[in-house]
């Protein structure tokens, strides 16, 4: 128990509490000197809480030790090149610079957040399973619904970061990411950010939905400030993580790895990183403006004083549309990466897939206003944004054709990762086909703010992220641990999750078409949606149970799983050419690319990479 409380993460959390108190008290003292109220009904006043949230997050970073080396550098002291992690499980709760440890930290954090977000959804889904308010207040319904959205988004960003961090240096043949300290910083800011998001529940909650639109968010309880500051802090993880990834790809590729010989997942990671490096700044700005409007009365979004609430929506969606590609592009990359392994055929149209990832990312920057067809923005913007949005279907279609052509006449081995790949393709297809009706102005005017959108969105998220994420976990678990997850439990997981996801999303779309509004706590029983809502709730529980099966699988596999240290899936990819689990500095010899990454089923093809022992070190 004592070791537990001495872990760096626990020290960081203690510091966060002290930091919040210190920042809050400082503002209280300043306010007292200015003759203003020093304390409010929720202990502190709102400005105190905002400053406290920020100082608390900074204090966490000091407390956990993520800034130690930079402080030394600033003081002009030498910093050790090699960083030694504590042995065993403790390294996962301490600052580590090893990209594999950070990747696992990110992934574990993502699973914890997904569980939390899922749990919140189950609570309000239970409330929705029949008409009438049964056990939640309107305020709590709104809070749970809003936080479900934002916590899931953070969990997806964190999960993407986990997979990219773990894989990309190994796929490139690098020892680590380009900036290991920055990498650790990027992970650790997620912890105080998550605390802030969850902390908003204690400060009156959030009643705006995950979008936080003003003027509603200007009138919300103080909890919305914790929500805004939390997202802002988490944004740094996205920005710095994607910066690190781009530099790593640009500078640390193995010899011979020209741009069209990179593993296809790397292309997806590049495309996603371009978006999160740049667009994240705009949601940060939008949220900061609301924070300032609330705390200092700066009327950015108040039309009475010359403000414009539509401006918020433009800034917000300039990030929040492209970010869905940050979620799905790496997932689609995983699909393209794994398919050839399991069908034993080359990836069809490698260059097209690589370019389609970039194409989706770039077109994604100019489609944001399709979320605003009903907002009252200038009407002449509608049609151009409709066409730009429909254009996204072209590069996305390229990916589907490539997958189908890759599978065509292949000898498909249906193991658990492949099941999730196939499930992902199917569910993402459902999400993709239900997209154009929302992009088309005439139909969107009917569909906007209905459950149709919710169903469509959950199909894209499950198909584009959740299924590929689980495929990646089943596929690379042996690489990380040297043990293989149980196939039987994996199949249970898949066969429970897939019909449930398809079921609840299609039912959501159905009642959405019939007029069910989204984001509301109650509905008229005369609409006749009770039974459908009950089914949606039951399917939601089944998805949750299937994830519990996965967690149980992880638990028993780590405890007494069969060892799997070799090339479990018969992959050509570099990380599988060496025994598992990977040693701290990855490959002991220099990796050189000599062949094509996906020449499966061609016995005379050269291997993708070889490892050259250096004759003389240095």
Which residues of the shown chain bind other proteins in the complex (CB under 8 A)?
74, 76, 178-179, 182, 239, 243-244, 246-247, 250-252, 277-282, 284-285, 289, 292-293, 296-300, 302, 305-308, 311, 314-315, 318
**Nearby residues of 54 by Cβ (< 8 Å), 6 or more positions away:** 23, 229, 233
Among the listed residues 458, 465, 470, 565, the one whose alpha carbon sits nearest the alpha carbon of residue 505: 458
Q: Smallest distance, Å, CB 375 to Cu ion? A: 13
Q: Smallest distance, Å, CB 365 to Cu ion? A: 11
From other proteins, Cu ion, none, interface partner of 289 (C-beta below 5 to 8 A by class):
other proteins
- The Cα–Cα gap between 21 and 410 comes to 61
Of residues 379 and 604, the one with the C-beta less far from other proteins: 379
- The Cα–Cα gap between 425 and 444 comes to 25
Of residues 356 and 498, the one with the C-beta less far from Cu ion: 356
| 32 within 8 A of 38, measured Cβ to Cβ | yes
| 377 Rama class: left (phi>0) / alpha (psi -120 to 50) / beta | beta
From other proteins, Cu ion, none, interface partner of 321 (C-beta below 5 to 8 A by class):
Cu ion
What are φ and ψ of residue 592, in 5° steps?
Answer: -130, 135
Q: How many CB atoms lie within 10 A of CB 471?
A: 27
Site string for Cu ion, 445-484 (x = CB under 5 A): ----------------------------------------
From Cu ion, other proteins, none, interface partner of 292 (C-beta below 5 to 8 A by class):
other proteins
Q: State the Cα angle at 116 between 111 and 118, rounded to 5°.
A: 90
From Cu ion, other proteins, none, interface partner of 314 (C-beta below 5 to 8 A by class):
other proteins
From other proteins, Cu ion, none, interface partner of 511 (C-beta below 5 to 8 A by class):
none
- The Cα–Cα gap between 558 and 561 comes to 6
Q: Smallest distance, Å, CB 105 to other proteins? A: 22
- The Cα–Cα gap between 610 and 255 comes to 10
- The Cα–Cα gap between 465 and 602 comes to 31
Of residues 139 and 278, the one with the C-beta less far from other proteins: 278
From other proteins, Cu ion, none, interface partner of 239 (C-beta below 5 to 8 A by class):
other proteins
- Tokens (6 digits) for 227: 């929500």
Site size with Cu ion, rule: CB under 5 A: 1
Place of tokens 């930091």: 19
3-state secondary structure of 593: strand
Q: Smallest distance, Å, CB 76 to other proteins? A: 4
- The Cα–Cα gap between 499 and 427 comes to 10
Of residues 219 and 413, the one with the C-beta less far from other proteins: 219
From Cu ion, other proteins, none, interface partner of 39 (C-beta below 5 to 8 A by class):
none
Of residues 178 and 609, the one with the C-beta less far from other proteins: 178
Of residues 83 and 519, the one with the C-beta less far from other proteins: 83
- The Cα–Cα gap between 488 and 471 comes to 15
Of residues 203 and 323, the one with the C-beta less far from Cu ion: 323
- The Cα–Cα gap between 608 and 247 comes to 23
From Cu ion, other proteins, none, interface partner of 307 (C-beta below 5 to 8 A by class):
other proteins
Q: Smallest distance, Å, CB 305 to other proteins? A: 5
Of residues 401 and 611, the one with the C-beta less far from other proteins: 611
- The Cα–Cα gap between 138 and 220 comes to 13
Q: Smallest distance, Å, CB 148 to other proteins? A: 28
Q: Smallest distance, Å, CB 306 to other proteins? A: 4
Of residues 460 and 573, the one with the C-beta less far from Cu ion: 460
Q: Smallest distance, Å, CB 460 to Cu ion? A: 10
Q: Smallest distance, Å, CB 439 to Cu ion? A: 8
Q: Smallest distance, Å, CB 35 to other proteins? A: 17
Of residues 125 and 314, the one with the C-beta less far from other proteins: 314
Could you tell me how many residues make up the chain? 618
Positions 301 through 360 that interact with Cu ion (CB under 5 A): 321
- The Cα–Cα gap between 15 and 57 comes to 9
First to last CA, the chain: 46
From Cu ion, other proteins, none, interface partner of 526 (C-beta below 5 to 8 A by class):
none
From Cu ion, other proteins, none, interface partner of 247 (C-beta below 5 to 8 A by class):
other proteins
- The Cα–Cα gap between 192 and 207 comes to 22
Q: Smallest distance, Å, CB 382 to other proteins? A: 18
Of residues 182 and 480, the one with the C-beta less far from other proteins: 182
**Nearby residues of 579 by Cβ (< 8 Å), 6 or more positions away:** 565, 566
From Cu ion, other proteins, none, interface partner of 282 (C-beta below 5 to 8 A by class):
other proteins
Write down the number of H helices and E strands in the chain: 24, 4
- Tokens (6 digits) for 412: 């498909």
Of residues 76 and 132, the one with the C-beta less far from other proteins: 76
Q: Which residue is nearest to Cu ion (CB)?
A: 321
Q: Smallest distance, Å, CB 247 to other proteins? A: 5
From residue 288, give the alpha-carbon distance in Å to each of 129, 229, 235, 323, 576. 36, 8, 12, 18, 45
> What is the contact surface with Cu ion in residues (CB under 5 A)?
321
């Amino acid at each position: 128990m004592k070791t537990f409380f001495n872990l760096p993460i626990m020290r960081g959390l203690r510091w966060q509490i002290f930091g919040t108190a210190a920042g809050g008290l400082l503002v209280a003292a300043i306010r007292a000197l200015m003759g203003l109220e020093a304390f409010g009904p929720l202990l502190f006043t709102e400005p105190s809480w905002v400053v406290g949230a920020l100082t608390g997050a900074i204090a966490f970073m000091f407390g956990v030790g993520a800034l130690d080396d930079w402080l030394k550098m600033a003081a002009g002291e030498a910093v050790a090149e090699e960083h030694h992690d504590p042995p065993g499980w403790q390294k996962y709760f301490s600052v580590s610079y090893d990209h594999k440890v950070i990747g696992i930290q990110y992934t574990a954090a993502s699973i914890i957040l997904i569980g939390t977000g899922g749990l919140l959804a189950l609570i309000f889904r239970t409330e929705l399973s029949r008409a009438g308010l049964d056990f939640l207040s309107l305020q709590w319904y709104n809070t749970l619904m809003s936080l479900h959205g934002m916590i899931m988004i953070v969990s997806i960003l964190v999960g993407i970061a986990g997979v990219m961090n773990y894989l990309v240096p190994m796929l490139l043949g690098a020892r680590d990411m380009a900036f290991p300290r920055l990498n650790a910083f990027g992970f650790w800011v997620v912890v105080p950010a998550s605390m802030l998001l969850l902390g908003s529940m204690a400060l009156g909650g959030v009643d705006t939905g995950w979008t936080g639109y003003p003027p509603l968010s200007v009138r919300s309880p103080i909890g919305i400030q914790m929500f805004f500051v939390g997202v802002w802090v988490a944004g740094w993880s996205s920005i710095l993580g994607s910066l690190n990834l781009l530099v790593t790809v640009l500078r640390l590729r193995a010899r011979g790895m020209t741009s069209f010989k990179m593993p296809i997942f790397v292309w997806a990671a590049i495309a996603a990183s371009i978006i999160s490096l740049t667009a994240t700044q705009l949601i940060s700005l939008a949220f900061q403006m609301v924070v300032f409007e609330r705390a200092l009365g700066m009327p950015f979004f108040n039309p009475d004083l010359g403000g414009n609430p539509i401006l918020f929506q433009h800034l917000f969606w300039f990030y929040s549309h492209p970010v869905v590609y940050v979620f799905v592009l790496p997932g689609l990359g995983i699909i393209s990466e794994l398919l050839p392994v399991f069908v034993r055929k080359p990836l069809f149209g490698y260059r097209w897939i690589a370019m389609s990832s970039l194409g989706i990312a770039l077109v994604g920057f100019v489609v944001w206003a399709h979320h605003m067809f009903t907002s009252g923005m200038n009407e002449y913007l509608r049609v151009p944004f409709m066409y730009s949005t429909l254009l996204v279907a072209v590069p996305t279609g390229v990916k589907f054709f490539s997958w189908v052509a890759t599978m065509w006449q292949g000898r498909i081995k249906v193991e658990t990762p492949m099941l999730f790949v196939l499930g992902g393709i199917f569910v993402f297809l459902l999400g993709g086909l239900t997209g154009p009706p929302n992009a088309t102005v005439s139909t969107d005017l009917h569909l906007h703010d209905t459950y149709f959108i919710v169903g469509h969105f959950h199909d894209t998220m499950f198909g584009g992220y959740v299924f590929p994420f689980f495929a990646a976990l089943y596929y690379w678990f042996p690489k990380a641990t040297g043990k293989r997850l149980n196939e039987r439990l994996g199949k249970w997981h898949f066969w429970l999750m897939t019909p449930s996801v398809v079921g609840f999303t299609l039912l959501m779309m159905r009642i959405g078409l019939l007029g069910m509004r989204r984001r509301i706590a109650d509905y008229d029983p005369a609409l006749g949606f009770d039974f459908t809502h009950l089914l949606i709730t039951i399917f939601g529980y089944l998805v949750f149970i299937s994830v519990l099966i996965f967690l149980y699988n992880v638990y028993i596999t780590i405890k007494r799983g069969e060892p799997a240290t070799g090339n479990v899936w018969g992959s050509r990819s570099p990380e599988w050419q060496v025994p598992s689990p990977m040693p701290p500095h990855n490959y002991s010899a220099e990796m050189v690319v000599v062949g094509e990454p996906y020449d499966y089923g061609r016995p005379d093809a050269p291997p993708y990479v070889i490892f050259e022992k250096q004759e003389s070190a240095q």
